[in-house]
Amino acid sequence: MPKPSEQAKAAFQKLVPPDPAVMTRPMFGNLAGFVNGNMFCGLFGEDLFVRVSADDQAKVRKQGGRAFEPMPGRAMTGYVVVPAGWQKKPDATRGWIVTALTWSRQLPAKDKKAVKKAAPKKATPARRPR
């Protein structure tokens, strides 16, 4: 997994709104913003991704963005990577983060208990045949 630079992490922290409902925490070995348990933005290496409506995804793509694929060929539905150079355009980038926050705030809150239950179980060693 790509890791963000300290500069990218600092820029990201400055752009995430200071909202009591918003928390940042590690995701993919990077940083991500969450509201009501839903991820709405984050870093993936030096890239910044946001979760927005289909119409807004098209707008981001027209500006030079692309699908968010943490693994090649495996795009995460609803997420797009904002165009490169996002750190040099804080006002435009903040706009996309606020749009993502607004969009994600409308999603159903994730139930913390259900998330824990849905976590994959540890793999058990294979048994040898007798």
pLDDT in tens, 75-120: 999 999 999 999 999 999 999 999 999 999 999 998 765 445 444 4
Contacts of 6 (CB under 8 A, 6+ apart): none
6-110 has which fold?
A: Aspartate Aminotransferase, domain 1 (3.90.1150)
Q: In the prediction, which pLDDT does 66 show?
A: 95
CB contact at 8 A, 101 and 22: yes
Domain edges within the chain: 6-110
Q: Go through the chain and tell me how many residues it has.
A: 130
Question: How far is Cα of residue 11 from the mean position of the Cα atoms in its chain?
Answer: 15
Q: For residue 41, which of 65, 16, 58, 75 has the smallest C-alpha distance?
A: 16
Among 47, 109, 42, 49, CA closest to 79: 49
pLDDT number for residue 130: 54
Residue 27 · residue 51 · CB < 8 Å: no
This prediction's pTM: 0.82
Vertex 76, ends 72 and 81: CA angle to 5°?
Answer: 80
Report the first-to-last Cα separation within the chain, whole angstroms: 40
pLDDT (tens digit per residue) in 4-55: 999 999 999 999 999 999 999 998 789 999 999 999 999 999 999 999 999 9
Is the CB of residue 32 less than 8 Å from the CB of residue 41?
Answer: yes
pLDDT at 72 over 90: no
